[in-house]
Amino acid sequence: MVSRAESAASTRRALLDSATDLLDEGGLDAVTLRDVAARAGMSRGAPYGHLADKESIPAAVAAEGWERLSDEIAAQQGTPSERLRGALAALVTVGRRHPHRYRQMFGPRPAKSPGG
């Protein structure tokens, strides 16, 4: 039987995967809580139990992008210069294949609203 924690983690994973797909396809404007839920096959209210708000989605997608890039860089083998070339190639690949995600990873952080 799946535990409550495993179910919540699975739901969050599906929501973040959906958000990443939407971001990659149409940029930040394409990422709405309603569309994230629909892409994940969930109700419109489902994201609210797993994501704080729309603004938290790009940060979560960027954090995962950093984790994946970090793992790919850590897996590089060879001489130091070969590893460096591999790491730079991985970085360029993210920028070319996923430009919107790249902007979230490397762009400026949005300013917080007053009182937020």
| Distance from C-alpha of 83 to C-alpha of 89, rounded to nearest angstrom | 10
Residue 92 has pLDDT above 60, yes or no: yes
Residue 116's pLDDT is 46
The whole model's pTM is what? 0.78
Residue 28 located in a structural domain: yes
Residue 16's pLDDT is 93
Domain count for the chain: 1
CATH number (domain holding residue 27): 1.10.357.10
Residue 15 · residue 31 · CB < 8 Å: no
Range of the domain at 8: 4-106
Residue 42 located in a structural domain: yes
| Distance from C-alpha of 16 to C-alpha of 89, rounded to nearest angstrom | 25
